[in-house]
Every structure is written in C-alpha cells, then in structure tokens.
Amino acid sequence: MPFPRRAVPRAAPGDAAAARRAAPRNDATVRRGALAGAAVLALTVLAAACGSSAGSPAGSASSATAGATGTVNWEWTLPTSWDPVTSSAGWDVHALGLVYASITTLDPAGTVGPGLATSWKYAANGKSVTFTLRPGLKFSDGTVLDAAAVKKNIVRAQKQPTSNIASELAVISKVVVNSPTSFTLDLAQVDYQLPDLLAGKDGMMVSPAAFTKNLSGLPTHPVGAGPFKLTSYVPDSHADLVRNPGYWDASQIHLANFTVQAISQPEQILAALQSGQVNVAYIAGNQVASAKAAGFKVAVIPSEVVNELDIQTTTAPFNKPDVVKAINYAIDRQAILKVQASGYGAASYQPFPKGFVGYNPSLANLYPYNPAKAKQLLAQAGYPHGLKITLSTVSTSDPLAEQLQSQLKQVGISVTIKDIPAATETQFLYLDKTIPLAIDGTAGRNSPVEMLDVLYSQQGLMNVNGKKSTTSPTVTQALNQALTVPLGSAKYASTLQNAVSTAVTTDPIHIWLYTNPRIFAYSPKVTGIPHDLVQQRWEGVRAAG
C-alpha cells in the first residue's frame, strides 16, 4: 500500500520512502495522496443529528461538545480517495479515520477493542460472529447507523466493481440483521481475524444515503460517523474538518477543528512548523535534531511501517530466483538505515517489526550483507558480467533509490531510476501491476493476516505478480491456518509467525529493507498525542490557542 514517504533534505529518504520525498520513506514516498485535480471542492456541511451514543462517557451530544477548543493543523498525506472502499493505499487509513468510525478499534498495542460495536461473539464452530452495536448511532448527515446500514456497507464493499477491499471481505458469505443493534456475519471459512480486520478501512462505515445518492462523489465528499466532518477539500493541498459531536466517543475529542495539510517539499516542514502553518508534522529521522533545536517536541511512535521493494518475479530477470537473492545480499540495510533514517528504525527482512506478534525471529538476519555472495548468485543465474535493471520511484532524485543504485552497482547490477508521477503510482503499481521493480513500503494493517493477504495472496493489492501467477498453495495454506486460530490462543503467535516465514521465503516478491517509526514534531501547545501502532488516533489530544 503505498504510503507517503518522508523525504529528507537531500541525502536520504526514509520511510519506504515514507517521510517526504527526500527523506526516509517514512512519509516520504511522496505525498502520495492525492486525487487529480486542482480545483477547490467546497463541501456542504450537513447538519449532523447528534443522538446519544450509548457506551460513550459523555452520554449525550451536548455534554460531549463541552470544552472542545483549539485546532490541530496536521502536516500529512491526503488520501488517494475519501471513500474507504476505493482508497488504494493502506496509508490512507490515518486520514480516513478522521471522518469515519470503524466497527472495532485497536488500542496502542494493537489489541482489538470496542468501536461502533461494543462486543462480539463467535459461534462454537468459528463459522459466524455476532456483533452488538451501540444504540442511537448516526452518521454526520443524520442517517441512522444501525445493523441494516452495516449490512449495506459490507455488501457494497464486496460487490462494487471499483472496490479495493472486496477480497478482504470475501470470507463473509452473508450478513444477517438480527435487530437494529445486532448483526451476524456468516463466514465461508473459520476466520478469527475479522474483529481486527473491521478496525480499519474494511470496518469504516459510510452513510448509505451518501453512496446511494452520489456514489461518484464519495472520493471527495465523505460522509461518516467519525470524530470529525470534512467541510472543505483542495486535492493535493489541504482538507478542513470540524468536530463531529455525534461521534460515539465524542467526549474524548477535545479539538474544535482539524486540518490536514500536504506539504510536498521536506525542507518546508520545519518552516511550516515555525510559522505556525502546522502544529503537528510528520518528519524524517534526520530532521529530529533540527526540530528539537527549534524548540519543538518530538514523538517517536512505534509503527508497522516497513520500507521495501516490490518485485515482479514473473518478469525477467527477476524470474530467476538467484537474481532476487543476489539483490537481497547486495543491499547493505544497516547503511541504508543510517543514511535514510538517521538510525531510527531497524534493518528488516520481513513485513512486521520486532515486538509485533507476527515478527519471526528466525528471519532476523535472512540476507546479511554479502557482495561476494551476490556476485556468485548472479553468475549462477547466467549473469557473470552483471545485468541492467530499472528501479521505479516517485522521484528520480529519491535518495533511497540513489543509495540502492550505488550499492547494487558494486556487484555488477546497473540500475536506471525511473520516475513515476505520484498521482498515478498506485494505479500502475497496485491496480495495473505493470511495474517490475519499485520502491514501496507497507503501512501495516489492522489484522496481521490481512497484511499478509494484501502482500502475498492472489488478489492482494501489493502482490505485483497478481495478474501473471497464482499464489503458492503452501502460502495459501499457511495464511488459512492462521485464520483458524483464536487471537487469545497460546498457538496464535507461532501459527502467525509460521505464515510469515512461509510467505517471505516461498514468494520473495518483496525485498524488505527497514522499519520506520512514526515521528512527529509538534508544538509544545499540542498535548496528548496517542502512540498508536497501526492507525493514528486523536482522542485525548488538546491544542492551546
């Protein structure tokens, strides 16, 4: 899922590109964001019906709005679409979470908990799960958010031709509405990951009135039941939001206003902070010292972000396993981490960071830096004198691409860096799957098996082989096995880790590079920023005037 990469000022990107086009791909992959178009889209603010949200400490909309003041101006990437069904980047979940509420939520450690639903219970055979919704829920346009609305959302996500989450919800064979506050999901197979899955985009509820009346408008005119409501939006520039008093957890939203501002040049980030244009910004590791020196607070938040290369092993020369192995051994991940992220993060050979339940210790040093072995493998593959390849990225001046180019040159691999427009990258890479080798990164998923599915399954968005080959039966079996183990089982961690190892070693379609924490520089006047592993949340945050 492409995600923004924080680019650093000329020397290294770092987030998987993720931090600003010049910094670590932490945010950099470039502000992937945005939808085409430059016209300002004025969004009409519809009056929100603020019914009571049972389960919320506030108890009523009026009490929930008490004390809401201040504004967070967040420097961040705008989503590829404001519709969670057509969003094409996992990274979008952070911005989408501002306007949408999900069926469940994850706490900072990644453990699933209540959201729109207060509880859920699996049938004894694991083939169905029943959820209980909070009573009195409403969307920001006043539409009732009940079990019938949930059913309409799931059916749309499964059947809409342009849906990017249909494969993730395919396990749901039927949605049964038991009452306004109860629904049952019948499953095609045992799947204990569903509560996790529904904490992200898959579980974000959209007003049925909105997608029934104006489906084509959702990518720019979202209508949800989240903590904020979008009031105006300028693609590639900014989004303005106001607090939604009808949000089920509104008592924990202390901000009256919120803006998301996309700043494409990394060197402008600190200037924007100093001028007050933004008061919370996503920065690269090599910007931390400057941010602190300028008097800003810095939060280093553990995350699931892992920088990597997507590689099409059905396309020459990558269809030769020894070539892929040679590239892995030719990459000095520690050197890349130092340059691209100033040491923030860790070298990686798998899609999950150390400390996460899916992290497999046996993969900790899968491809140690070994140029001699890389050359030997190239010779075995029929390239004793080296070869030429093309590496795609969203900027020909991407420091990460340049460092990889330099490292691979040492073993005889000549790399041509090809620029891809940021606005079309997700289309070419994930949907058309026409790019053989590209710099990318995972932003994580609410469900670890969902993340593996996105990366390695036949229909997975980030499986760049998807249109040319089928997923290995061994990998499919390992992923299915992980679904059958309850999250609280003593066998869950080992089963999940086995699935990770099987996928990484059997289908080497991703070359893992390094992990990236989410690094925020922010004004001392902003307090209470949560350290959420997967989706950045804003409950408890305050901003003084």
Report the CATH number at residue 52.
Answer: 3.90.76.10
Report the number of distinct structural domains present in the chain. 2
Is residue 267 assigned to a domain?
no
> If 0-12 CB within 10 Å is exposed, 13-18 middle and 19+ buried, where does residue 11 land?
middle
Q: Last residue of some domain: 178, 201, 224?
A: 224
Banded model confidence at residue 205, pLDDT cuts 50, 70, 90: very high
Most confident listed range (44-58, 107-121, 141-155, 452-466): 141-155
Is residue 187 assigned to a domain?
yes
pLDDT of residue 397: 65
Report the CATH number at residue 325.
Answer: 3.10.105.10
Residues 61 and 197 in one domain: yes
Residues 359 and 474 in one domain: yes
pLDDT digits (tens, 9 = 90+) for 152-201: 999 999 999 999 999 889 999 999 999 999 999 999 999 999 999 999 99
Residues forming a β-bridge with 257: 71, 242
- DSSP character string of 33-97: -PPS--S-EE---PPPP----TT-SS-SHHHHHTT---EEEEE-PPPS-SSTTT---GGGHHHHH
Residues 326 and 431 in one domain: yes
Is residue 279 assigned to a domain?
no
Q: Last residue of some domain: 173, 205, 224?
A: 224
Residues 313 and 207 in one domain: no
Residues 190 and 316 in one domain: no
Is residue 93 assigned to a domain?
yes
Q: Last residue of some domain: 224, 242, 273?
A: 224
Q: State the residue range of the domain holding 169.
A: 48-70+82-224
Residues 219 and 315 in one domain: no
Is residue 466 assigned to a domain?
yes
pLDDT digits (tens, 9 = 90+) for 403-451: 999 999 999 999 999 998 887 888 889 889 999 999 999 888 888 998 9
Residues 316 and 176 in one domain: no
Show the CA angle centred on residue 273, arms to residues 37 and 92, nearest 5°. Answer: 40
Residue 176 three-state SS: strand
pLDDT digits (tens, 9 = 90+) for 11-60: 222 222 332 222 333 333 322 222 223 233 333 333 332 322 333 333 33
